[in-house]
Amino acid sequence: MVDLHVHSTFSDGSDTPEQLVALAVSGGLRAMALTDHDNLHGVPSFFAACREKKMTGISGVEISAEVPAGTLHILGYGVNPNHAEFLEQLDRVLDGRAWRNEKILARLNELGCTLTWDEVAALAGSEVVGRPHFAQALVARGYVASVHEAFDRFLTKGAPAYVDRYRLTPAEGIRLIRAAGGVAVMAHPYTWQPEDTKLESALRELQTLGLGGIEAYYPDYMPERTVTYLRLARKLGLVATGGTDYHGAAKPDLRLGSARGHFATPDEVLAPLLAAMPSHDWVIGA
């Protein structure tokens, strides 16, 4: 079993990279990719822990791409965490996150949900604050009963406290991942294009830009969706990946590797992903 979609305290997860590796080893995971949102800051400590625990670790990132409708996230695997242009562009994205956080806090207070920046930041455990931390703060204050309710009522796209931010275009995100030596994979495609025929057309278009894979295994998929994505991957010559999208406390019902207990990304996805990488310089223990 592997988990190729995992978040740490360096974005909006609640576990440090070292804690993630310890959880992975105790849970019997063969390999894991650290895919924090829009940054690679956790990779050095993640790699150090992988070396110590003798576990396969992959440098990764999850980029939010700018699209007219829906939500498009692109995972980058095997990327160089020291690639200057990539880091510069990701810093621009993080600056946009900081601006958005200020606006979200102001909107929530205007809506009668009194929160302070300190209490939200305390839930982050790192320099990167995201919407899940606002959701956790809303739960802690008793304004909502769950993180899910917080998103539905306040923080999801179109909700009253949602604020958009600067993002890379799909073409820019894919180009930068490839420039940094990585493989670009579309994360949870249904959040962008739920219609299969339209998705195939969209995947073909992104392939011309360098897209290399599709996330075929994901806890929120029904079995038939996984089958559809695996068929699309084979048809289009894309690698099929998968993971839990683990965040720790922000998504308390999801466990690393097994999600809600009836999920697994098979070991078989690892070899094709590694084969698609130009080099294994940013893979530990492969």
- Would you say 4 and 35 are in contact if contact means Cβ atoms under 8 Å apart? yes
The sign one gets for the Cα dihedral 150, 153, 157, 163 is negative
Query: How much is the mean pLDDT over the chain?
Result: 93
- pLDDT tier for residue 249 given thresholds of 50, 70 and 90: confident
Q: Which of 236, 256, 240 is nearest to 248 (CA)?
A: 256
pLDDT tens figures, 170-216 = 999 999 999 999 999 999 999 999 898 899 999 999 999 999 999 99
The model's pLDDT over 112-122, given as tens digits with 9 standing for 90+, comes to 999 999 999 88
Q: What's the CA gap between 68 and 79, in Å, rounded?
A: 27
pLDDT of 251 above 90: no
Which residue type does 263 have? Answer: F
pLDDT at 253 over 90: no
Sorted by where each starts, the structural domains of the chain and their CATH numbers stand as 2-80+174-284 (3.20.20.140)
Span 37-57, pLDDT tens digits: 999 999 999 999 999 999 999
pLDDT over threshold 60, residue 89: yes
Q: Which three-class secondary structure state does DSSP give residue 240?
A: strand
Six-digit token pair at 160?
């009253």
8 Å CB contact between 57 and 50: yes
| Per-residue pLDDT tens digits for 20-41 | 999 999 999 999 999 999 999 9
Q: Residues of the chain with pLDDT > 70: what percent? A: 99
Residue 258 has pLDDT above 90, yes or no: yes
pLDDT at 3: 98
67-77 pLDDT, tens digit per residue, is 888 889 999 99
What is the rounded distance in angstroms from the CA atom of residue 36 to the CA atom of residue 63?
Answer: 9
Q: Map tokens 């190729």 to a residue.
A: 4
Among 138, 38, 157, 158, residue whose Cα is nearest residue 96: 38
In this predicted structure, the answer to whether residue 103 has a pLDDT above a threshold of 90 is: yes
